[in-house]
Amino acid sequence: MSAVSPATLPTVKAPRPPSPFSNALAFGWRAVLKFRHVPEQLFDLVMTPIMFTLLFTFVFGGALAGSPADYIQFLLPGILVQTVVFNSVYSGMGLSTDLSKGLFDRFRSLPIWQLSPFAGLMVGDVLRHIIAGLIILCIGLILGYRPEAGLAGVVAAFLLIVAIGFGTGWIFLVLGLLIRTPMTVMTIGFTLIMPVAFASNIMVRPETMPGWLEAIVVRNPVSHMTTAMRGLLDGTATGGDVLLALAAPVILTVVLSPVVLWLYRRS
């Protein structure tokens, strides 16, 4: 190793400090590289929703809606919501992995805008939600799903997907900052999210449930998100639907973003 010769390196001065925006962009680039190097992660992201879509459409579809073709029209928007809610768990896992490996120590010791690593995480999350959503939508189209509202409806639906992902992501960033083992973040994350995702109107109409459960389900934020998603894709959404769907993401952002910043600065 005698040929290792850092002594021959010239002294290098720092260039003009980059803007916070270009820092965030650099972290976003990292997220894109991760997709290129670890394409398997897409498999994790869409496997569960694809399984649910196939299972429910073909096994329960006939019983639930008369025919699989009718059921997929009901189910698919909800599956999109489920996908983004489930996948936001991975934001926390990614953060926890970075923290457990000391990578954030290096980032935090750089003269950069201190929150740019988070901005980068967000860029990665948005990409992840859009890619996973597109894959699920394609599967749906193959199975006979038709978004009545056309392209405009799909674009609006994806904006809602990004908003939901951004909002729920905060829960798991908090977990990621508190828990240094990525696997534990995932386990706790799914334990929290499972009942919330299932006690909703994603798969079944709440009217068919026992009264006490129906009362819970219609108040579940995931149900509001699903109603809005269906409405946007069918072209029947009202402004009220969308506002109700956005309530939870907005509240989560307002309440949890300061918590995340505090935890990050404290650590």
Partner 1 sequence: MNDTTPLKEPLAQKRTTPLAISARGLVRHFGEVKAVDGIDLDVPRGMIFAILGPNGAGKTTLIRMLATLLKPDAGTATVMGHDLVAEPHAVRASIALTGQFASLDEDLTARENLILLARLWGFRGREAKARADELLAAFELADAAKRQVKDFSGGMRRRLDIAASLIVTPGVLFLDEPTTGLDPKARQGVWSMIRELARTGVTILLTTQYLEEADQLAARIAVIDHGRKIAEGTSRELKALIGSGFLHVAPADPADIDRAAEILEARLGAAVQRSAEGAQLSVMAGTPRDANEALSALMAAGIEISDFSMGSPSLDEVFFALTGQPAEDQDRKEAAQ
Please report, as ranges, the residues that interact with partner 1 according to CB under 8 A: 1-9, 11-18, 22-23, 26-27, 29-30, 33-34, 37-38, 98, 101-103, 105-112, 116
Q: How far is the CB of 155 from partner 1 (least distance, A)?
A: 31
Q: Are 173 and 256 in contact (CB under 8 A)?
A: yes
CB atoms near residue 267 (< 10 Å) = 12
Nearer to partner 1 among residue 208 and residue 266 (C-beta): 266
> Which residue, 170 or 264, is less far from partner 1 as judged by CB?
264
Distances in whole angstroms, Cα of residue 84 to Cα of each of 9, 18, 117, 142, 200 = 47, 32, 21, 20, 15
- Return the number of the residue (37 or 208) whose C-beta is nearest partner 1: 37
CB of 181 to partner 1, least distance (A): 14
Extended beta strands in 192-259, E state: none
Which residue, 103 or 138, has its beta carbon nearer to partner 1? 103
Name the minimum Å distance from CB 18 to partner 1.
4
For the chain, strand residue ranges (E) read: none
Closer of 8 and 208 to partner 1 (Cβ): 8
Please, what is the minimum distance in Å from the beta carbon of residue 113 to partner 1? 10
Least separation in angstroms between residue 73's CB and partner 1 is: 39
Fill in the amino acid letter for 228: A
**Could you give the CA distance from residue 135 to residue 159 in angstroms, rounded to a whole number?**
16
Paired tokens of 36 = 């290129």
